[in-house]
Amino acid sequence: MKRQKSFESDQPKLYIVATPIGNLNEMTPRAIDILNEVDVIACEDTRHSSKMLKHFNIKTKLISHQKFNESESVKGILMLLHQGMNVALISDAGYPLISDPGHELVNAVIHHGFNVIPISGSSALLNALVASGIVTQPFYFHGFLPNQQKEIIGVLTRVRHYQATLIFYESPHRIAKTLRHCLELLGDRKAVLVRELTKLHEEFLRGTLSELVEEATDLKGEMVLIIEKDEGTKLPDMDLNDVYSKIEEFIALGFSAKDAISEVAKLSGYRKKEVYELYHTKRC
């Protein structure tokens, strides 16, 4: 067991500092103080972060810490801590580690006996959730869905019956496809799409997944998608011909016949045995 007394130790510290997600006025005084006091700031993009630091007249040295150099960067930051320096970790926006690099670093720093201290600030998922109008707890936050269609289907199938509000991050060029998958795999639930949080064009689109599918064209900005928990939402009706076509569709995505049959049984409401018999009868 490791016991950390954050402010009763002279050990060097790694600060996890949240930064604004859009509106620079949301930078906290404590975050500014910490970024001024530490010896080094590790960030995702030095060009992006240098603009923010300049705005607050913070002149602390910047180093790069991103997913492409994470393992090497962890070694360098540990060396700084061993030399007695304090380090702050920031991301391009919001909290580090929340769909951003940092987990490997935090684990390594804890393992080496140094203190890890969070500095509060903006969080896109919490901002979106509390203003969504959807029940706020319990909630399940997934972050960004995978890129591969097969993996997206796998994730949505697993979380379909979670008794919790579902929260995903999404980008503009993928949102239409993601909403269609959600509608097909989760049913036509109440949902909210939030974009451009804290910025001039902040927008909440509240409705159902089918309504959001109709609206999800030419939307810009990073997005948060919030979907109500499973309330026994009825999935689209599927006759036997649809069932067979859906199995073939899953197989084309890389599922084995066995896994495809299992997934389609969950989606269609038919018993797995019925789906199995239908598929193999049609193939004969």
Please write the tens of the pLDDT for every residue from 13-71.
999 999 999 999 999 999 999 999 999 999 999 999 999 999 999 999 999 998 778 88
Is a pLDDT exceeding 90 seen at residue 9? no
| Phi, psi (deg, nearest 5) at residue 72 | -70, -40
Domain count for the chain, please give it: 3
What letter represents residue 6's amino acid?
S
Q: Which residues contact 88 (CB under 8 A, 6 or more apart)?
A: 14, 15, 16, 17, 34, 35, 38, 40, 41, 42, 60, 119
Q: What is the mean pLDDT of residues 262-279?
A: 74
Q: Which residue has the higher pLDDT, 213 or 268?
A: 213
Residue 216 lies in a domain: yes
160-163's contacts with Cβ under 8 Å and 24+ in sequence apart are: 160/185, 160/186, 160/230, 160/266, 161/230, 162/229, 162/230, 163/138, 163/229, 163/230
118, 181: one domain: no
| pTM of the complete model | 0.81
Contact 133/206 with Cβ under 8 angstroms? yes
Q: Which residue has the higher pLDDT, 219 or 69?
A: 219
Residue 168 lies in a domain: yes
Residue 233 lies in a domain: no
Residue 258 lies in a domain: yes
131, 210: one domain: yes
Residue 152 lies in a domain: yes
Contact 88/58 with Cβ under 8 angstroms? no
Three-state secondary structure readout of 183-230: HHHHCCCEEEEEECCCCCCCEEEEEEHHHHHHHCCCCCCCEEEEECCC
Centroid of chain to Cα 170: 8
Q: Model confidence at 104, in pLDDT bands (50, 70, 90)?
A: very high
* Encoded tokens for 100: 């951003």
Residue 109 lies in a domain: yes
Q: Which residue has the higher pLDDT, 77 or 257?
A: 77
Q: Which of 98, 122, 146 is the last residue of a domain?
A: 122
Q: Which of 122, 157, 174 is the last residue of a domain?
A: 122
Q: Which residue has the higher pLDDT, 203 or 252?
A: 203
138, 192: one domain: yes
Q: Which of 61, 94, 122 is the last residue of a domain?
A: 122
pLDDT of 114: 95
Is a pLDDT exceeding 90 seen at residue 260? no
97, 134: one domain: no
Residue 2 lies in a domain: no
Q: At what angle do helices 257-268 and 272-283 cross, to 10 degrees?
A: 130
163, 191: one domain: yes
213, 157: one domain: yes
129, 110: one domain: no
d(CA 181, CA 88): 39
Q: Which residue has the higher pLDDT, 194 or 283?
A: 194
Is a pLDDT exceeding 60 seen at residue 234? no
For the domain that residue 166 is a member of, what is the CATH number? Answer: 3.30.950.10
Contact 90/42 with Cβ under 8 angstroms? yes
d(CA 90, CA 35): 9
> Over the chain, what is the mean pLDDT?
90
Q: What is the mean pLDDT of residues 159-168?
A: 93
d(CA 228, CA 212): 14
Residue-number span of the structural domain to which 250 is assigned = 240-283
76, 101: one domain: yes
pLDDT tens-digit series, residues 105-151: 999 999 999 999 999 999 999 999 999 999 999 999 999 999 988 89
